[in-house]
Amino acid sequence: MASPEPRFDGAEVVELLAILADPATSYWLRDAIVSSCARDPFDAERDALALAALLTRRLDAIVARHFGTRPQA
């Protein structure tokens, strides 16, 4: 079974282009956005959520070590 083709509505395209055009957007985020648009959207979302969870745990651990407390969610 072929993977679904990525489809974006006008608002999504405008939002993506605005983020990509923003000089404050990191190259890392730009690359992630471009590469995710070429992937199956379910796989891309699952991977992005897994990465976000890992980054959150890493940041929480760093803050806890620095301040001696766990941040409130």
pLDDT in tens, 51-60: 999 999 999 9
Please tell me whether the overall predicted TM-score, pTM, comes out greater than 0.85 for this model.
Answer: no
Q: Which string of DSSP letters, residue by residue, matches 7-72?
A: ---HHHHHHHHHHHH-TTS-HHHHHHHHHHHTS-HHHHHHHHHHHHHHHHHHHHHHHHHHHSSPPP
pLDDT in tens, 20-53: 999 999 999 999 999 999 999 999 999 999 999 9
